[in-house]
Structure 1
Amino acid sequence: MSTREAAQMLGVALRTVQLWVESGVLPAWKTAGGHRRIARAAVLALAAERRGAVAGPARDTLEMLVVEDEPDLLNLYAMVIEGWDLPIHVRLAKDGFDGLMQIGQQRPDLLITDLMMPGMDGFHMLRSLLASEQALSAEHIVVITALSPVELADRGTLPPGVRCLTKPVPFAELEKLARARIAELGIVRLDSAAIPL
């Protein structure tokens, strides 16, 4: 089947299927004319896997994705968030392309992203994400940037609803946002009855 047919069957954007093929999530081959073809069985298997993830047991963790190109800062995010002692599963992405790939595989409850990254930057990633069928609600996206308001305006505005915080990373503010999102989703940790707000 074509990538367009696979996208329709999976209920995702065509670009998401293309990224899955490029990264090996969906095995594919090219026809003599250069068009990608995907085995129907592979698409059905991925659809079943995605349905299982959606219809799985009650959730007990917040899915958070952090997109940042600086390895030391990514490690700092992981260490600080782990220290919050909240039911959060953190995934890390090194650039916008990696971020979109991970969002395609599992949509996060909260996305934290830098803007200035090599390859696909945060601006491009957000435009691609918010234009896709996998779109997150803008209020669940947090941009962390060193850009001044003037520099930010020169490079383009952020989509409405996206929260913008400045570096150095305001971890206390991020913790408040994570706690609010946990409460909004009704996530309860298995080892405790409630998460203090």
Structure 2
Amino acid sequence: MRVRNLGAHHQKFVILRHRDDSTRDVAYVGGIDICHSRRDDARHTGDPQALQIAAAYGPTPAWHDVQAALRGPVVHDVETTFGERWEDSTPLTLNPGRTLSSFLQGEDQEPRPLGEQWPPPGPVSGGTAAVQVVRTYPAILPKGYDFAPDGERSIALANSKAVARARRLIYVEDQYLWRPKSASTLPMC
């Protein structure tokens, strides 16, 4: 919800916080849909509870996607991203058909407050990676998100910065690669 008409909310993460032991805090982030038909393993035999899709993919389509477990202060950043979306005052939808459908299905339209966010976990002992949370949000009219009223394109900015600083090889695995409209005649590599 809270997306442009014909848009999608495609953030997928799970956050586990432990009040008495923040060393156990973890955030799982990535592209894996957490639903029937998307579960798979290293053998890629597909989900035994697959939903029916095009016959060309077979009865249990294989899926290849990435999910990462994050520990340390970044868990707080992922949790903040969730809280921003959850508590945003933007209407869940401006689509009258979706509003009616939600009403008829008895969907809860008023999220309960999340409560106080706990402090970030400390750095991971022996950790060597720096992690940054980046996102893409569109500008939604007539009222944008409270936390990103003009939208946000930090994924595009991070990718541009990485490409500009690369010396030999760039490997990017991303569902969406964005480019400015003015570059629409340039090939995507």
* TM-score when normalising by structure 2: 0.25
Q: Structure 1 or 2: larger helix share?
A: 1
Q: Structure 1 or 2: larger strand share?
A: 1
* TM-score when normalising by structure 1: 0.24
